[in-house]
Amino acid sequence: MADEALFLLLHNEMVTGVYKSADQGEVENGRCITKLENMGFRVGQGLIERFTKDTARFKDELDIMKFICKDFWTTVFKKQIDNLRTNHQGIYVLQDNKFRLLTQMSAGKQYLDHAPKYLAFTCGLIRGGLSNLGIKSIVTAEVSAMPACKFQVMIQKM
C-alpha cells in the first residue's frame, strides 16, 4: 500500500537525519534516541486525540492498554499486538512478532545493534498516546531477534 511505504521511508530518513545532524558526543550519550522519542511523543498525543474522539471512556488501565494493543496498533501499523502481558502492578509488556518497521531490515541477528534507533519513535508514540489518556509512563523497547520486538510500559503512579 502506498501510504505504508511513505511512512516507512519517511521514518527511516528521519532516523538517519537525526543521527547525521548530531555531533559525536550526542550520539554516544543517547541524545538522538531521546530526540526521536520526543518526536514520537508529540505525534502520539495528537494521534490518540483523533482515534478516540468517538469512543466511550475507558473503564480502567487494562482497558486502555488493550485499546493501544488492538485499535491503536491496527490504525498505525495495520496489525494488532501479538501478546500483552502484565503483572497487574503497573508493568505491561507488548510483544509484536513482526514489527512493521523492522520486517525489511533482517530476519534474525544482522543489524541488531541498529534496531533500537528505529524503535525509539514508536516508544514515544505509545508514551504520548498514554499521556493524553491520563497515564504517565515510561516506555522502553527491546529486540532480541528481528522482526519480533517487545515494548515495556511502566506506569508511574502520580
Partner 1 sequence: MTVHNLYLFDRDGVCLHYSEWHRKKQAGIPKEEEYKLMYGMLFSIRSFVSKMSPVDMKDGFLAFQTSRYKLHYYETPTGVKVVMNTDLGVGPIRDVLHHIYSGLYVELVVKNPLCPLGQTVQSELFRSRLDAYVRSLPFFSARAG
Q: Applying CB under 8 A, which residues contact partner 1?
A: 5, 8-9, 12-13, 15-16, 104-108, 110-111, 114, 118
**What percent of the chain is helix, strand and coil (3-state, nearest 5)?**
55, 15, 30
Shortest gap between Cβ of 5 and partner 1 (angstroms)? Answer: 7
Which residue, 92 or 118, has its beta carbon nearer to partner 1? 118
Which residue, 123 or 135, has its beta carbon nearer to partner 1? 123
Which residue, 67 or 118, has its beta carbon nearer to partner 1? 118
Shortest gap between Cβ of 52 and partner 1 (angstroms)? Answer: 31
C-alpha cell at 122: 514508536
- Cell numbers 501478546 correspond to 83
Shortest gap between Cβ of 31 and partner 1 (angstroms)? Answer: 19
Shortest gap between Cβ of 149 and partner 1 (angstroms)? Answer: 16
Q: Do the Cβ atoms of 104 and 114 come closer than 8 Å?
A: no
Q: Terminus-to-terminus CA distance in the chain, angstroms? A: 42
Collapsed DSSP state (helix, strand, coil) of residue 152: strand
Which residue, 78 or 114, has its beta carbon nearer to partner 1? 114
Shortest gap between Cβ of 50 and partner 1 (angstroms)? Answer: 26
- Measured from the Cβ of residue 131, the count of other Cβ atoms closer than 10 Å reads 15
Closest CA to 121 of 27, 10, 6, 35: 35
C-alpha cell at 109: 541477528
Which residue, 64 or 123, has its beta carbon nearer to partner 1? 123
